[in-house]
Amino acid sequence: MVTVTLKVNGKTRSATVPPETTLLRMLRDQFDLTGAKLGCDVGDCGACTVIVDGQPVNSCLMLAGQSEGCEVLTIEGLADIDHMHPLQKLFEHFGSLQCGFCGPGVIMSAKALLDANSNPCTQEIRDALGGNLCRCTGYSKMIEAIKGAACIMRGEELPAVK
């Protein structure tokens, strides 16, 4: 068993897990943060994406032990009781999610992108979502929402919807 201490959504958390435990399993089973999903368990689908030290990471490919001392942000850490993150607001507004299973991963990838690039073009958004698969809605409405969120985060008006 290994004991891991890390910061999750701003709070210091600690868990003792078998060494083969992935970060995803630890977040879900030990910390009850079930927002990150297990879709493929081999890093293909991106449903498990969380942000580790500012980088979007497939948490099913990262061992819990590797996250020792790291700062992890999950979908649960994006909103507080009063405010939704602009990405979450606009994903809802544009109907970017249908079954929603890929949503937390997509939004975390988008969040990492917007942290690094406040005004991404369509191609840059596509690249950032390269590791996230969606099987229902498709990506157009997600890209629309991410562009809108970027607008709002830059303090600009949301362009009128056609």
User: Which of 14, 16, 68, 79 touches another protein by CB under 8 A?
Assistant: 79
Question: Judged by CB under 8 A, does residue 45 bind another protein?
Answer: yes
Q: How many helices (H) and strands (E) does the chain have?
A: 5, 5
Question: Judged by CB under 8 A, does residue 9 bind another protein?
Answer: no
Residues numbered 95-114 forming contacts with another protein, rule: CB under 8 A: 95, 97-104, 107
Which regions of the chain does DSSP assign to beta strands (E)?
2-8, 11-17, 49-52, 55-58, 71-73
Q: Are strands 49-52 and 11-17 parallel, antiparallel or unpaired?
A: unpaired
Question: Judged by CB under 8 A, does residue 20 bind another protein?
Answer: yes
Question: Judged by CB under 8 A, does residue 138 bind another protein?
Answer: no
Cβ(27)–Cβ(36) under 8 Å? yes
Q: Where are the alpha helices (DSSP H) in the chain?
A: 23-25, 86-93, 103-116, 122-128, 140-153
Question: Judged by CB under 8 A, does residue 116 bind another protein?
Answer: no
Which residues in this chain contact another protein in the complex, by CB under 8 A? 18, 20, 28, 34-42, 44-45, 47, 74-76, 78-79, 84, 87-89, 91-93, 95, 97-104, 107, 133-136, 161
